[in-house]
């Protein structure tokens, strides 16, 4: 039974993702974001539990990726589609409540442009499939992890809701900006670049200096910028990965 604890935690990730899908489809992007964050929380701890309990298995690895596809792949794709719908001059929108982010896509009225947001689902699925067969990614990632990409996408409706300004709306609800973010996320998900993983094999500072510094800076950024700090943290993650190389990680070929 103890060996099944990681799979139980993965199940909670998957359940959170399924609930998030329901809210994202009906247009409540804020609640959807909350459940995605819960799913990512469980996603972090299922791997940690597997390592601590020595319960790592091929089934667990596949199950984890399937859960991630829903929580960190399908939900961000739907959220991007909803934002693109709102950005497309309100065509095909149905509003639920008073929030500007509570919208739903009406297939009978909307243009096909918002469907390009679903490219995030395709990019995430391909990234997870590669991860499952790539033996190089035991201690680091090659390409942006799907949870990190999900955090980026889900931060957009949160910024609109809790840090609203006309300037913010003009940027986030610009259809071409959203299309650029969609394409960029698909590229980063599958790019052949080394990115460090937040996996602690030990708790010593010397061997985990980059991780500790990143986490500390992330807390500071979130404190001052709140949800707007999430894209900044992602940029910090990419920069630290590219310019602070681990000696034990060879270049991608």
Q: Which helix (H) or strand (E) holds 221?
A: helix 209-225
Contact 91, 109 (CB under 8 A): yes
* Domains of the chain with CATH codes: 2-120+140-192 (1.20.120)
Closest CA to 172 of 37, 109, 79, 91: 79
231 HSE (CA, 13 A, CB side): 12
Contact criterion met (CB below 8 Å) for 181 and 250: no
Note down pLDDT in tens along the chain; length 253 residues. 777 899 999 999 999 999 999 999 999 999 999 999 999 999 988 888 887 788 788 898 899 999 999 999 999 999 999 999 999 864 444 433 334 445 555 554 557 899 999 999 999 999 999 999 888 876 789 999 999 999 999 999 999 999 999 999 999 999 999 999 999 999 999 999 999 988 776 778 888 889 999 999 999 999 999 999 999 999 999 999 999 876 655 444 4
Predicted local confidence at residue 238, as pLDDT: 96
d(CA 168, CA 173): 8
- What was the pLDDT predicted at 144? 97
Look up residue 199 and give its two tokens.
């996996």
Using alpha carbons only, how large is the chain's radius of gyration in Å?
18
Compute the residue count for the chain: 253
Inter-residue contact 24 to 82 (CB < 8 Å):
yes
The residues near 113 (Cβ < 8 Å, ≥ 6 apart) are 84, 88, 175
Give the pLDDT confidence score for residue 26 in this predicted structure. 94
So what's the pLDDT on residue 53? 83
The single residue listed with the structure tokens 């992602």 is: 234
Q: Where are the beta strands (DSSP E) in the chain?
A: 93-95, 103-105, 140-142, 194-196
Distant-in-sequence, close-in-space partners of 101: CB < 8 Å, separation ≥ 6 = 27, 29, 30, 82, 86, 157, 160, 161
Under 8 Å CB-to-CB from 210, ≥6 apart: which residues?
196, 240, 244, 246
Q: Which two tokens stand for residue 205?
A: 């500072």
Kindly give, in sequence order, each residue whose CB lies less than 8 Å from that of residue 184, ignoring residues fewer than 6 positions away: none
Asked whether the beta carbons of 101 and 23 are under 8 A apart, the reply is no
């Amino acid at each position: 039974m103890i060996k099944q604890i990681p799979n139980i935690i993965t199940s909670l990730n998957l359940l959170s993702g399924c609930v998030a899908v329901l809210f994202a489809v009906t247009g409540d992007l804020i609640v959807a974001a909350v459940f995605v964050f819960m799913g990512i929380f469980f996603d972090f701890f299922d791997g940690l539990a597997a390592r601590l309990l020595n319960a790592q298995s091929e089934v667990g690895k596949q199950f984890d990726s399937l859960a991630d596809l829903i929580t960190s792949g399908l939900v961000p794709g739907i959220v991007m589609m909803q934002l693109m719908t709102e950005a497309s001059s309100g065509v095909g929108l149905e509003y639920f409540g008073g929030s500007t982010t509570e919208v739903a896509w009406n297939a009978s009225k909307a243009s096909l442009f918002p469907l390009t947001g679903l490219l995030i689902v395709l990019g995430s699925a391909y990234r997870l499939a590669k991860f499952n067969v790539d033996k190089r990614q035991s201690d680091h990632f090659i390409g942006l992890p799907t949870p990190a990409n999900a955090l980026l996408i889900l931060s957009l409706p949160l910024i609109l809701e809790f840090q609203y300004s006309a300037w913010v709306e003009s940027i986030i609800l610009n259809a071409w900006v959203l299309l650029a973010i969609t394409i960029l996320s698909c590229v980063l998900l599958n790019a052949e670049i080394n990115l460090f993983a937040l996996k602690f094999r030990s708790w010593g500072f010397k061997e985990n200096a980059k991780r500790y510094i990143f986490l500390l800076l992330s807390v500071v950024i979130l404190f001052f910028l709140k949800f707007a700090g999430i894209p900044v943290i992602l940029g910090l993650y990419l920069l630290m990965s590219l310019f602070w190389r681990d000696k034990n990680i060879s270049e991608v070929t």
